[in-house]
Amino acid sequence: MIRIARGDEGTDFAKHARKQRAAAMLAWARNKPPEPDYRLVARTLYERQWFKCAWCERACGFENQPVEHFRPKGGAHDGSVADRKVTRRDPDHYWWLAWTWSNLLFSCTRCNGQATKGNWFPIAPGSKRVPAPPRELMRALPPACLDLASERPLLIDPAADNPMDHLVWQPENPSASWEALKWRPYGHDPQGRGTTTIKILGLEGDHARDVSLEINATITTTALSIVEALEQNDGPRVHRDLDTIEKYFAETRLFLAAKHDAWTWFTDQPALAPLGAMSRAPIARPGAASDTTRAEPDVSPPSEFDSLSNELVLRILAGDFANTDEVLLAFASEKVRDVSVIQRLTERSLSSLQAADTRLLAVLALFEDHDSIARADVARVTGRSGNELTEYLALATAARVLVFQSSAKSLTPTGGSKDRYCRGDRP
């Protein structure tokens, strides 16, 4: 595992993330699960990670691979990592970080699965998880929910941390011949984060076998060739082999951290000691030198939001309106009738809002002006079905747009979907 260069969030994803967070906050308050959408960010993460999994460094295709959350988006697990026994589940953690740029990674299905990373996110003894937001409508998350510095996770973050500071690949049988070496990862930090990460991600077993095969086919084979060239005093061949070694560390190659550890181990052996006298630069540690994550600053909401309810603010930010008529009815319920203000807050086109406003008032005027008008006649004039019209009037009544006459009050909702009452108006 190497440190990845996540880089800038980008304006497009920042806008998308703000919308998704607002939708999640609405869903949380309504006791409904959020519906994540990561299509906008998946490709960016995939390319910046050089088409490899952030955890295991395997090459993986783009299709059907998950966007990983360093902190799980729901149901964080803690417990005995060695035998994968969960002793604590925090079902509310960490849904509010599901669209936070610094929490997202691209991973393979193996590392993302329940048999490996899954929802595991253990924290150090004595550390406490940040509190989950209260289950109520709020226009902004409480600062305490975002104070992640107070947590001490035992899982390595491949963007914020340098994984090579915490785990190292070494031969488990160092006295064997070089061709027979079997490589495996070991934790080498006092906090135990390396060992915990190895266990959670299952970097031993079959994965270690695959890494050993790759090391032996590349680094080991070339190291043996260098030993032979040194014994024959064949300087040009040594340099050619060293050029080959450097090619094994191209960004798109597999298992760069393990290969670097293996090459370091080989160059510490007496057989390759003469390389120290050669004027060749050592192989640099692979991966980013520092955390490159850069998030877009939050945009302050317009001052007009101050007078609106938390629910309406979240609906605006989340785009939680089926159509333009519903936008006007929602604002009317809070006594906001200035179409220009609504247009500025919702970014709907002014023409569509004006058309919806005219249409809404015309429909209501029909009922106000004609005590005995038949519902079928209004449906014919307005182009709406009877059920659509009934729901439309029910919404308008709830919004207190106008006080209806008795003929309108006699209409009671008969069921159906709110999404159907103003077909054709989805700008």
pLDDT tens-digit profile of 73-130?
988 999 999 888 999 889 899 999 999 999 999 999 999 999 999 999 999 988 999 9
Q: Which residues pair with 356 in a beta bridge?
A: none
Q: How far apart are CA 135 and CA 142, in angstroms?
A: 12
Report the pLDDT value the prediction gives residue 374, as an integer from 0 to 100.
55
Q: What pairing do the DSSP bridges indicate for beta strands 167-171 and 104-106?
A: unpaired
Residue 52's nearest CA partner among 259, 252, 197 is 252
Q: Look at residue 182 in the predicted model and tell me its pLDDT.
A: 97
Q: What is the DSSP letter of 106?
A: E
Distance from C-alpha of 314 to C-alpha of 103, rounded to nearest angstrom: 22
Q: Measured between alpha carbons, how far is 233 from 227 in angstroms, rounded to an integer?
A: 10
pLDDT at 426 > cutoff 50: no
Mean pLDDT for all residues in the chain: 84
Q: In a 3-state reduction of DSSP, which class is residue 77?
A: strand
The pTM of this model reads 0.82
Q: What percent of the chain has pLDDT over 70?
A: 84
pLDDT at 419: 32
pLDDT at 62 over 50: yes
Phi, psi angles (nearest 5°) of residue 332? -65, -35
Predicted pLDDT of residue 109: 93
Q: Residue 339 above 60 pLDDT? A: yes
Assign 369 a pLDDT band (cuts: 50, 70, 90): low
The H helix count followed by the E strand count for the chain is 15, 6
Q: Which of 88-97, 322-331, 345-354 is predicted most confidently?
A: 88-97
**In angstroms, rounded to a whole number, what is the distance separating the alpha carbons of residues 50 and 255?**
12
- Contact predicate 68/201, CB 8 Å: no
What confidence tier does 326 reach under pLDDT thresholds 50, 70, 90? Answer: confident
User: In angstroms, what is the C-alpha Rg of the chain?
Assistant: 30
Two tokens at 258?
């393990």
Q: Which residues contact 259 (CB under 8 A, 6 or more apart)?
A: 214, 215, 218, 219, 248, 249, 253, 286
> pLDDT digits over 216-251, tens only?
999 999 999 999 999 999 999 999 999 999 999 999
Q: Give the Cα separation of 85 and 77 in Å (integer).
A: 9
In this predicted structure, the answer to whether residue 366 has a pLDDT above a threshold of 70 is no
- Domain spans of the chain? 11-150, 163-277, 321-420
